[in-house]
Amino acid sequence: MSQPKFQDHSLFQDKAFVNGQWVSASSGQTFSVHDPATGAIIGTCPEFSGTDVETTIQAAALAQEQFQFSDTRNRAAILVKWAQLMRENREDLAKLLVWENGKPLPEARGEIEYAASFLDWFAGEAIRSYGDVIQPGNPVNRAVTIRQPVGVCALITPWNFPAAMVTRKAGAAIAAGCAVVLKAPAETPLSALALAELSLRAGIPKGVFNVVTTQHKTPEVGKILTNSSIVRKISFTGSTRVGRLLMNQSSSTLKKLSMELGGLAPFIVFEDADIDEAVKGAINCKFRGSGQTCVCANFFLVHKTIYEAFTAKFIGRVKKFRPGNGFDAATTHGPLIHEAAVAKVMSHVEDAKSKGGLVAVGGNPMPELGSNFFQPTVIVNANSDMIFTHEETFGPLAGFIAFSDEPEAINIVNRADVGLAGYFFSKDVERCWRVAERLAVGMVGVNTGMISDPATPFGGIKQSGFGREGSKYALDEYTVIKTITFATGTRT
């Protein structure tokens, strides 16, 4: 399928979205967006410069003046409407997502629902804002705290969840009363632009939700967003390398920051686990988005007494996978995003082989399908010197290490300098609490491989970043506390 059929062609936008208008780059330059399955050009988007982004920031600043004092019930209503429009247009949004990202259509539909559920969640949170009443040291004073919107926010999102990362950030910012400038990823800008079209229909005021696109000028645009004294907050999801750079650049204007960065999720299977449940959890966790999910398991630790039984069942499941074009109904797993991603998985496979790993399934690119496809791969006889135990693969490679006892498994996990998610399976309740509390990560899945939910805080520790998205905590990221002290008069 070279071009999907859309019900509503106006969701396919090829301009940036500024102050409620569709605009080109001032230079007239564009960049091409590609289908990762075929390499074909899908369309073009404006190559925004720093100057174009400055104009966008000004528009957001103007909108912010009104929006920050807007009725929170109205914010909730427009978020609910936005979610409803997403669901009404689910098929078109899902097709667009498959086309630019490559994930299979059922998975893309799941992402659209996941994305819409953030808007519902934040509609609920928009109307809940609490402060404290405090008795200051001075007995004649009384103090209260209120939460206020932080101001204009820059949101920088990745290509692996082209819709859900937009709503997870923008939903929270808008609920809190902030205008946003969203910089979409060059690989998958079209989903963000389709959401912009729906935001207009939902009644989000002009200038409150802006989407800018750029490819070659990304570093220049990043500098403008981070150096701007109008932008008060950066929320970034992406690699640790870029997160560090943005944090560094933001220091000149001392912005509030949220950083959702790379992970290295371990998946531990203890000897007392339900093996079938653990295999199911492991498959779902490892191969979501063909392994291109920041909370995907990166490597497996399986107790030596169940290693053979577990890996045999896991391998049996992987052999049934059918990689292919995401629009093909038989496809279970789509392509990787680009050739560099394929090269990275290959380098992790080669490294494992050179250190004694045995390829049980896959192990190679699939040029017969296209240059971005890699075989779902399982490596057994792995050890903790292999690179995939230190560095995120972000691809369909599952390496299995046999371990002897709980402290050994925890030590292998906790030596990492990142800590986003971790998973383990065990039927021993005491062990469940003990291990969950000892793993040095921000999120733990106990007897489950799926932990993402708008109601629960999402985020990491160490070099996986800081800040929490989703949940009741997300609005803290987009608000600041103001203390108001009242003098109550002199006491006689």
Check if the beta carbon of residue 311 is closer than 8 Å to that of residue 358. Answer: no
CB atoms near residue 3 (< 10 Å): 11
The answer to whether 260 is a known catalytic residue is yes
DSSP 8-state class, residue 377: E
Contacts 24+ apart (CB under 8 A), 319-325: 319/361, 321/287, 321/376, 323/290, 323/366, 323/369, 323/373, 323/374, 323/375, 323/376, 324/37, 324/369, 325/1, 325/37, 325/38, 325/369
Please tell me whether residue 416 binds ligand O=CCCC(=O)O under the rule CB under 6 A: no
Check if the beta carbon of residue 19 is closer than 8 Å to that of residue 206. Answer: yes
Nearer to ligand NAD, 189 or 399 (CB): 189
- List binders of ligand NAD among 175-204 (CB under 6 A): 183, 185-186
Residue 156 C-beta: closest distance to ligand NAD, Å = 5
Nearer to ligand NAD, 89 or 464 (CB): 464
Longest CA pairwise span in the chain (Å): 89
Considering only residues 57, 79, 116, 242, which one is a binding residue for ligand NAD as defined by CB under 6 A?
242
Nearer to ligand O=CCCC(=O)O, 259 or 409 (CB): 259
d(CA 161, CA 94): 11
For residue 368, CA distances in Å to 39, 280, 319, 323, 330 come to 13, 29, 18, 11, 17
Residue 452 interface partner, choices ligand O=CCCC(=O)O, ligand NAD, none, CB cut-off 5-8 Å depending on type = ligand O=CCCC(=O)O
Nearer to ligand O=CCCC(=O)O, 297 or 369 (CB): 297
Binding range to ligand O=CCCC(=O)O, per CB under 6 A, among 28-36, 56-64, 245-253, 288-296:
288-296
d(CA 6, CA 400): 43
Residue 65 C-beta: closest distance to ligand NAD, Å = 26
- List binders of ligand O=CCCC(=O)O among 292-331 (CB under 6 A): 293-295
Comparing every residue's Cβ against ligand NAD, the nearest one is: 222
Considering only residues 261, 361, 401, 413, which one is a binding residue for ligand NAD as defined by CB under 6 A?
261
d(CA 91, CA 99): 12
- List binders of ligand O=CCCC(=O)O among 157-196 (CB under 6 A): 160-161, 164
- List binders of ligand NAD among 99-158 (CB under 6 A): 156-158
Binding flags for ligand NAD, 394-423, as an x/- string (CB under 6 A): x-------------------------x---
Residue 158 C-beta: closest distance to ligand NAD, Å = 4
* Six-digit token string for 97: 């997502």
Check if the beta carbon of residue 468 is closer than 8 Å to that of residue 420. Answer: no
- Out of 260, 406, 469, 477, pick the active-site residue: 260
d(CA 366, CA 51): 42
φ, ψ of residue 155 to 5 degrees: the values are: -115, 125
Check if the beta carbon of residue 398 is closer than 8 Å to that of residue 318. Answer: yes
* Six-digit token string for 70: 């807007």
Residue 471 C-beta: closest distance to ligand O=CCCC(=O)O, Å = 12
Residue 48 interface partner, choices ligand NAD, ligand O=CCCC(=O)O, none, CB cut-off 5-8 Å depending on type = none
Binding flags for ligand NAD, 200-239, as an x/- string (CB under 6 A): ------------------xx--x--------------xxx
Please tell me whether residue 393 binds ligand O=CCCC(=O)O under the rule CB under 6 A: no
**Beta strands 479-487; 141-149: pairing state:** antiparallel
Q: Comparing C-alpha atoms, which of 223, 184, 174 is closest to residue 63?
A: 174
Q: Comparing C-alpha atoms, which of 384, 394, 390 is closest to residue 286?
A: 394
d(CA 47, CA 42): 16
* Six-digit token string for 154: 């820059």
Residue 159 interface partner, choices ligand O=CCCC(=O)O, ligand NAD, none, CB cut-off 5-8 Å depending on type = ligand NAD
Considering only residues 1, 62, 230, 245, which one is a binding residue for ligand NAD as defined by CB under 6 A?
245
The continuous run of DSSP H or E covering 44 comes out as: strand 41-46
Residues 6+ apart with CB under 8 A from 177: 67, 68, 69, 70, 72, 75, 148, 149, 479
Residue 470 C-beta: closest distance to ligand O=CCCC(=O)O, Å = 8
Nearer to ligand NAD, 64 or 101 (CB): 101
Helix (H, G, I), strand (E, B) or coil at 110: helix
Binding flags for ligand O=CCCC(=O)O, 236-265, as an x/- string (CB under 6 A): ------------------------------
Residue 107 C-beta: closest distance to ligand NAD, Å = 15
d(CA 22, CA 161): 23
Q: Which residue has the tokens 């949004």?
A: 93
Binding range to ligand NAD, per CB under 6 A, among 75-83, 89-97, 256-264, 447-455:
256-264
Residue 460 C-beta: closest distance to ligand O=CCCC(=O)O, Å = 11
In the chain, the amino acid numbered 37 is: A
Binding-site ranges for ligand NAD (CB under 6 A): 156-160, 183, 185-186, 218-219, 222, 237-239, 242, 245, 260-263, 294, 392, 394, 420
Known catalytic residues are 260
Binding-site ranges for ligand O=CCCC(=O)O (CB under 6 A): 160-161, 164, 293-295, 452, 458
